[in-house]
Amino acid sequence: MTRGPKVAILGYPNVGKSSLVNRLSETRVAVVHERPGVTRDRHEVPCEWNGRRFTLIDTGGMDFLDDDPMAGSIREQAQAAMADADLGVLVVDAQAGARPGDAELADLLRRWHKPVIVAANKVDDVKDTSLALDFHRLGLGDPLPVSAAQGLGTGDLLDRVVELLPEGDAVDEDDDIIRLALIGRPNVGKSSLVNRFMNSERVIVSEVAGTTRDAIDLPLEVDGRRVIVVDTAGMRRQSKVTESVEYYTTLRSQRAVERADVALVICDAHDGVTAQDLRIADLAMREGCATALVLNKWDIAAMEESDLDHERAKVRNKLRLRPKVLTVSAKSGRNVERLLKEAIILGDRVSTRIPTPQLNRFISEVVQERQPPAKQGSRLRLLYMSQFETRPPRFAIQINSRNRVTRDYAYFIENRLRARYGMDGIPLIIDFNERGSRREGKHAER
């Protein structure tokens, strides 16, 4: 859901905003942790209540007295959410009582000129509902006692939200939208590249590794095509993940890959394509994503064309799906437009359907180029080829005997198919079905 009413969930750090977003949306998409400051970028989550559909915007905690640059960036993201929203929900901690930070936020929201609801969170028992009364002093109307942990009062909160929202529902995304996930190790420039795509400081960028915590969905239009760009947290080797926050952010990055059509594995050109980059690319391709590797910071890495050839050869040797290796600079914008166009081409090719006559001409040419293997004096015969699935593409080749199919020859056909139809980095499946057999044949894995 990309258009329609939006509700900004705002508040001081660690009052339970992300927990409340998860409770209201009946999801677990927002990262929740007892440590304050886990949420940083604004994150849009679809929600539905009594037939009304709208979008919740989870935001980071706003602390006006914190002079840390990261805190300043979080405040800017929250204020951008306010500019985009039709309604605000100020979340406060009923157990802690009204604090100066709540008063500062309330003063900001009174001058906002849009409806605001005060949600007094952490009222986990009915006998504690009177704790919400302390927040009348904020001057934003009657506070509602709620519990993100237990669900107490959340129905009443949703009733109030729906009552105050403007008319109109959020709408479903079109089928031809391409979901593009940017994945990679920490601090390789994923968020900088997202901001370059969006032509705005849409997500927080910092030299500190691990700044991005959630997988953030951002709508974009490229030459008339709608794209959802997903910025993700950095993915480190499992043995290197030492904190629970990092574990859950990595898990969300993996789930973002599962939902994506195309994955761009962002690498640091200073390091070249590392073993971890290759593992991340392999993960994306195993999830059925069309994949390319992108060397970011190309302009300042001082790499020669021969270095690029070396990286491409490394990828072709290590990754069976042979994804492309592209170059870009998030800092200067070099090759950014070309990268987006390449991503759209990859997204379209995952959905491509090749006509059967073309495939049968292709298989005939393959046989002429290299004769199929023979066993015990009898040769493998490729009789017929067709495609019967997309996303990812799946093909069937009718043959005379499965026992004569060798892994080497199956890979040869797969590589020729990639070369003929521009399917580098596209997961595809080839089934070899024996003539007259109803059982599914041996197939080349993704």
In DSSP terms, which residues pair with 395 in a beta bridge?
387, 430
184 assigned to a ligand binding site: yes
333 assigned to a ligand binding site: no
186 assigned to a ligand binding site: yes
235 assigned to a ligand binding site: yes
Q: Measured at the alpha carbon of residue 127, what is the angle toward residues 124 and 133, in degrees to the nearest 5?
A: 85
* Angstrom distance (rounded) from CA 16 to CA 19: 5
DSSP letter for 161, please.
Answer: H
436 assigned to a ligand binding site: no
CB atoms within 10 A of CB 109: 21
335 assigned to a ligand binding site: no
102 assigned to a ligand binding site: no
272 assigned to a ligand binding site: no
Contacts (Cβ under 8 Å, ≥6 apart) of 361: none
DSSP letter for 121, please.
Answer: E
* Angstrom distance (rounded) from CA 193 to CA 182: 9
59 assigned to a ligand binding site: yes
121 assigned to a ligand binding site: yes
14 assigned to a ligand binding site: yes
Q: Which of 427, 225, 256, 261 is nearest to 337 (CA)?
A: 225
299 assigned to a ligand binding site: yes
Amino acid identity, position 164? L
396 assigned to a ligand binding site: no
CB atoms within 10 A of CB 49: 18
Positive/negative CA dihedral, 373, 374, 379, 384: negative
232 assigned to a ligand binding site: yes
Backbone phi, then psi, for 286, in 5-degree steps?
-70, -25
6 assigned to a ligand binding site: no
15 assigned to a ligand binding site: yes
4 assigned to a ligand binding site: no
* Angstrom distance (rounded) from CA 298 to CA 253: 24
> Helix, strand, or coil here: 413?
helix
70 assigned to a ligand binding site: no
101 assigned to a ligand binding site: no
Contacts (Cβ under 8 Å, ≥6 apart) of 207: 187
Q: Which of 230, 229, 251, 236 is nearest to 184 (CA)?
A: 236
298 assigned to a ligand binding site: yes
* Angstrom distance (rounded) from CA 34 to CA 24: 19
415 assigned to a ligand binding site: no
Helix, strand, coil percentages (3-state) for the chain, rounded to 5, are: 35, 20, 40
231 assigned to a ligand binding site: yes
425 assigned to a ligand binding site: no
Backbone phi, then psi, for 91, in 5-degree steps?
-95, 130
191 assigned to a ligand binding site: yes
Binding site for GTP, by residue number, is: 11-18, 58-62, 121-124, 184-191, 231-235, 296-299
Binding site, by residue number, is: 11-18, 58-62, 121-124, 184-191, 231-235, 296-299
